[in-house]
Amino acid sequence: MKWIEIKVVFEPKEHVLVEELIASVFEDANTGGVAVERPDMEPLEGWDPGPVSKPDLYCVKGYIPADDKAEAACRIIEQGIAGLKSQGLDLELIYGSLADEDWSETWKEYFRPEKIGKHIVVKPTWRDYQPSSGEIVLEIDPGMAFGTGTHPTTSMCVQLIETHLKPGDSFLDIGTGSGILMIAAAKLGAGHLTGTDFDPVAVETAEKNLVLNNIPGERFQLITGHLSGQVKKRFPLVAANILADVILELLDDLGSIMEENGIFICSGILEEKADRVALKMKEKGFKVAVIIKKDAWAAIAGHYIGSTR
């Protein structure tokens, strides 16, 4: 099969969220996923990337099959990029082609081992890495699911899980994606793990990654469904690395699955929306313990103290 490569080049001085804005345009065109390339990407200290060369430009790229739907998808991307340029972003759209190559393999060149918490290192399955003393390595193949671990929202979640997880705690991950937070919790000593995602591809990917990390099937449960709608028990630790507006929706019913004084960790929140999420957490019976921020994103951890109404 032939594929169309669509690359959007941007300047590093642009708004820190430009990658997210471009990625959302690709999402509107149903490309299935994107790769981000940065010349300043550095390998983890002590890791030899071998023959891998760094990209020359800052860009976000995606791939679509060269079929009868390609033209419509390209128009959607062109219109979306034009909209971003009208807001003052300096972007360049470049088309290319790939013959007999699966687009989903091309991004792997730039996914490298990365330390995302005090002890946690995320390692792609196709890379070698020798852990240092005390490091916990997560083997990840994200496939078509969100969650390589390198995004600030994920790394902040992992940091908060490291801080608040107690050995043996059951753990719920809402919007599990690649399953990376479930794996991190398991490696840090959690008991039974539950993950939910509306996307059956994500659920399948999460299961493969859990098995890859030697987590036995009796230790976890994966649910295909919307948020916490199909969860029937209470948890001492719940995480949700999704978007702020979705977290606000989730909070309406979250108390029904939280143990008393349980911890809720949420991320995927733009800094400017953090106060709004924190306020609703308080309205729904949570006492905010900490808000951390990184690269224009925020993550929040709070204790469930019960309904205030």
In the predicted structure, residue 48 carries a pLDDT above the cut 80: no
Mean pLDDT of the residues in the chain: 84
Q: In angstroms, what is the C-alpha Rg of the chain?
A: 20
The reported pLDDT for the residue numbered 49 is 46
Provide the pairing of β-strand 2-10 with 91-99: antiparallel
Max mean pLDDT range (83-87, 103-107, 132-136, 158-162):
158-162
DSSP 8-state symbol, 246: H
Q: Which fold has domain 114-304?
A: Rossmann fold (3.40.50)
What does the alpha-carbon distance between residue 140 and residue 51 come to, in Å, rounded to a whole number? 21
Which residues lie closer than 8 Å to 291 by C-beta, 6 or more apart?
A: 274, 278, 298, 299, 300
What does the alpha-carbon distance between residue 266 and residue 243 come to, in Å, rounded to a whole number? 9
Cβ-count burial 48-84 (b if 16+ within 10 Å, e if not): ebeeeeebeebbbbbbbeeeeebeebbebbeebbeeb
- CA distances for 246 relative to 161, 252, 254, 258, 287, angstroms: 20, 10, 12, 18, 20
Tokens of 1: 């099969």
**pLDDT class of 93 with cuts at 50, 70, 90:** very high
Residues 157, 221 contacting (CB under 8 angstroms): no
**Helix ranges (DSSP H) in 255-286:** 274-283
Residue ranges covered by each domain of the chain:
2-110, 114-304
Tokens of 275: 């106060």
The reported pLDDT for the residue numbered 108 is 61
Residues 302, 289 contacting (CB under 8 angstroms): yes
State mean pLDDT over 74-78. 92
Domain 2-110 in CATH 3.30.70.890: no
What does the alpha-carbon distance between residue 296 and residue 16 come to, in Å, rounded to a whole number? 7
- CA distances for 200 relative to 90, 222, 280, angstroms: 36, 10, 30
What does the alpha-carbon distance between residue 31 and residue 114 come to, in Å, rounded to a whole number? 26
**pLDDT > 90 in the chain, percent:** 42
- CA distances for 11 relative to 2, 79, 110, angstroms: 29, 20, 19
The reported pLDDT for the residue numbered 237 is 98
Residues 141, 128 contacting (CB under 8 angstroms): no
In the predicted structure, residue 14 carries a pLDDT above the cut 70: no
What are the pLDDT digits (tens) for 151-209? Answer: 788 889 999 999 999 999 999 999 998 898 999 999 999 999 999 998 888 899 899 98
Least confident of 52-56, 239-243, 250-254: 52-56
Tokens of 76: 């959607």
**pLDDT > 70 in the chain, percent:** 84
